[in-house]
């Protein structure tokens, strides 16, 4: 994903995209009480952007891809359609993963007392915005377009 972005956009645009993605991660963190952090990863496990503390982001991105692959197969095998989201509830909190377009996923880490409904609402909005940002960055621009 990072390589594809580097090939299709300039360095300045890549930095701007990473800044926007980080802003989205921080915004969802502000909107959802008890959210510990999050990251955006490519579907093949490469870290794109993160706002995590206490979790190694590259390793978490790789594990996200592995869990995504299993969740996709599970949804497909059971006839549930395309993967949209997955939630793992552990003793000390939640790991929630949301599709962010066809090439990336959003993974959020939350404390056990998070409002899960609020988490889903805000994370789905954030995932859509991330997908839009990535799509805009990867869509070839018309050189005749002044904007």
What digits encode the pLDDT tens for the residues 10-65? 677 888 899 999 999 999 999 999 999 999 999 999 999 999 987 899 999 999 99
* Fold designation for 1-138: Beta-Lactamase (3.30.450)
Q: Where do we find the tokens 């197969």?
A: 73
For residue 5, name the pLDDT band (cuts at 50, 70, 90).
low
Instruction: Give pLDDT tens digits for 9-22.
Output: 567 788 889 999 99
| Domain range annotation of the chain | 1-138
Report field, pTM of the whole predicted structure over 0.75: yes
115-133 confidence digits (pLDDT tens):
999 999 999 999 999 999 9
Residue written as token pair 């390589």: 3
Virtual torsion, Cα 131, 135, 136, 137, nearest 10 deg: 100
C-alpha distances in Å from residue 89, one per residue of 12, 34, 53, 147: 39, 14, 19, 44
């Amino acid at each position: 994903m990072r390589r594809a972005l580097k090939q299709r956009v300039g360095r300045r645009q890549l930095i701007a995209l990473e800044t926007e993605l980080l802003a989205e991660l921080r915004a969802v963190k502000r909107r959802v009480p008890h959210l510990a952090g999050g990251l955006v990863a490519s579907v093949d496990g490469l870290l794109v952007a993160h706002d995590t503390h206490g979790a190694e982001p590259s390793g978490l991105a790789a594990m996200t891809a592995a869990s995504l692959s299993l969740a996709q197969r599970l949804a497909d095998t059971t006839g549930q359609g395309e993967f949209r989201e997955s939630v793992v509830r552990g003793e000390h909190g939640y790991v929630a993963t949301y599709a962010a377009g066809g090439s990336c996923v959003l993974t959020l880490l939350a404390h056990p007392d998070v409002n899960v409904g609020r988490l889903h609402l805000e994370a789905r909005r954030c995932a859509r915005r991330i997908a839009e940002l990535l799509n805009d960055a990867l869509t070839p621009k018309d050189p005749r377009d002044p904007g």
